[in-house]
Structure 1
Amino acid sequence: MPTLVTPAREDEERDAVVAAWVGRGWSVRRLDRFWEPPILERADVRLYGDMTFCLFLAERLGLELISPPDDLLLRVDARWLGRDIQGVLLADALQQSYPIFVKSAVPKLFRAAVYDAPSDLEQETIGLAEDTLVLVSNHIKFTCEVRCLIRRDKVVSAAVYEGEANVDEAKVFAEDFVRSHAVAVTYILDVGWIEGHGWAVIEANAIWGGGLNGCDPEIMADCLALATIE
């Protein structure tokens, strides 16, 4: 029986997914001291939580977490993105013209944002090596943002989480992207609308560390069942 292993602390979205998981007759283990995990049947474990929680337990238990490639946006043609995205070293990003949007290639090493000056980025990335790969792009504005859950090359749930949008139109765009790109068996795809361009991919993230942002918790549970493997 699949066992969802998740942090003990309460979280509204995560709790909704846990309820959906239990509703399928599957088991749940909520861990407080996750750095001292109990004995678990490795083949049954499915992880869901923040990055530190999931990455630590995956390493401890010898599991693989299914995630989109860190450099996915660098592989995608600009027509899907609506902006120019480059991969550069952190040291080189500090030499760019500002303001500029910067995010880490490896998710959540620092705050993804538009930085007005090199000193702002330098302050945000204290402690990171100069050769850390980051993604930089010109500053554009998404007037709306839609979260899509992808499972086996299909958009299985979608919801607007910023602004106002036609979800069906967003899904059509997302489905076109999914059919054109082999990314992962399950993942989160965020898309948004750029005035003068149209729909564009914002980013792709791992299901095991993502929030619902309005998507169906029942479908999230089905996606999570595929997101951890031995």
Structure 2
Amino acid sequence: MFTDRLLLLAPRINETGLQLLTAAHARGLPARTATGWRAPQDVPPLVHLYGGPLYADAVGRELGVAALEELPGWLAELPRELTRRSVELLPLAEARALRRRAFCKPPSDKLFAARVYQDGSGLPGPDALPDDQPVLVSEVVTFRREYRLFVLDGVVRTGSRYAVDGELDVAPLAEDPLHREVAAFAADLLAAGAAGLPSAVVVDVGLLAGGGWAVVEANPAWASGGYACDPGEVLDVVLRAAGPLTELRAADRPYCRELPVVTG
């Protein structure tokens, strides 16, 4: 039984959050859903978080949490044999000037819709987001199948299929007919693209319509849905991904989200 730590979930709990509560209680780890968007006072000294960026920003600093996320340019810096498409990290001002079709998304926070834009004129203007806001700009490709992988210390701990031909289609990775190919590509990716990733993270990969495997993106484990992943394994990754700052590993320091000081 743990007496000095707590898994705290954001108020807007989802299916993965419910699974994490069950998995935590099964191993004797106290876990509960927050009742509001302020840091609760009745918590033990060591807190882990699961929830979106808004909740991490609202309470993480006050609770002494280190929230790990991939570096903004990780996807853009991967070799083309892993992305199978051109990917650039651009300031929003340059992205707005694009006069070609591209898939555009914020590197981490959902500051605007991640989708295919016919050109940069559809991106948020300077009145909405600053010119230096980073944007990932990718060549448009079509994924036939997509998979979510929860990674801890460079090893895939659990995985799930989540889409087929762009439609939600969830199944445990082990039940997917291409699970061995997914595992092989993931091993190659983690061997070649570990730089830029924290020790606990989510990586999405997929099979392209034209053939070949490619990285879709990386995401913070503490803000990612588990689909049909094993909840106990997801919990292990989440606990590392957003845990006590006092337990932060030196190698993970470059991947700590800059959490704001919340006043009022």
TM-score, normalising length: structure 2: 0.80
Aligned to 1:133: 134
Matched, 1:171 2:179: no
Does the 8 Å CA contact 1:160/1:167 hold for their aligned counterparts?
no
Q: Distance in 2 between matches of 1:5 and 1:149?
A: 19
Aligned equivalents of 1:8, 1:85: Cα separation in 2: 35
Identity %: 28
2:240 matches 1:226: yes
**Map of 2:144 onto structure 1:** 143
In structure 2, give the amino acid aligned to 1:15. Answer: L
The structure 1 residue matched to 2:32, chosen from 29, 47, 52, is: 29
How far off is 1:36 after superposition?
A: 4.2
Distance 1:188 1:106 in 2: 12
- Relative to structure 2, which stretch is displaced further, 171-180 or 125-134? 125-134
Name the Cα RMSD after superposition.
Answer: 1.9
The secondary structure found in structure 2 opposite 1:140 is coil
Number of positions where the alignment pairs a residue of Structure 1 with one of Structure 2? 228
Larger mean CA deviation between 195-204 and 163-172 belongs to 163-172
Could you list the runs of 5+ residues in structure 2 that have no partner in the other structure?
Answer: 166-175, 246-264
Report if the CA contact (8 A) 1:158-1:167 is conserved.
Answer: no
TM-score scaled by structure 1?
0.91
**Partner of residue 99, structure 1:** 101
One of 29, 47, 50 as aligned partner of 2:49: 47
Alpha-carbon distance, 1:86 to partner: 0.8
Give the secondary-structure state (helix, strand or coil) at the position aligned to 1:59: coil
Q: Distance in 2 between matches of 1:158 and 1:34?
A: 30
SS of structure 2 residue aligned to 1:39: coil
* Partner residue in 1 for 2:251: none
SS of corresponding position for 1:61: coil
Asked whether the equivalents of residues 88 and 134 of structure 1 are also in contact (C-alpha less than 8 Å), the reply is: yes
How far apart, CA to CA, are the structure 1 residues paired with 2:44 and 2:191? Answer: 35
Determine if contact 2:151/2:157 at 8 Å carries over to the other structure: yes
The whole-number CA distance in structure 2 between the counterparts of 1:171 and 1:57 is 36
AA at the equivalent of 1:215: C
Q: Secondary structure at the match of 1:111?
A: coil
1:161–1:80 distance in 2 versus 1, CA, 3 Å: same
Contact 2:39 2:58 in 1 (8 A): no
Give yes or no for contact 2:76–2:88 (8 Å, CA) kept in 1: yes
Q: 1:217 to 1:199 in 2, by over 3 A?
A: same
SS of equivalent to 2:137:
strand
Please state how far the C-alpha of 1:57 moved relative to its aligned partner: 1.6
> Which stretch shows the higher mean deviation, 139-148 or 126-135?
126-135
Distance, in Å, in 2 between the alignment partners of 1:58 and 1:21 is 20
Match of 1:14 among 14, 17, 24: 17
Gaps of 5+ in 1: none
Q: In the alignment, which residue of structure 2 is the partner of 1:3?
A: 6
Native 8 Å contact 1:9 1:32 kept in 2: no
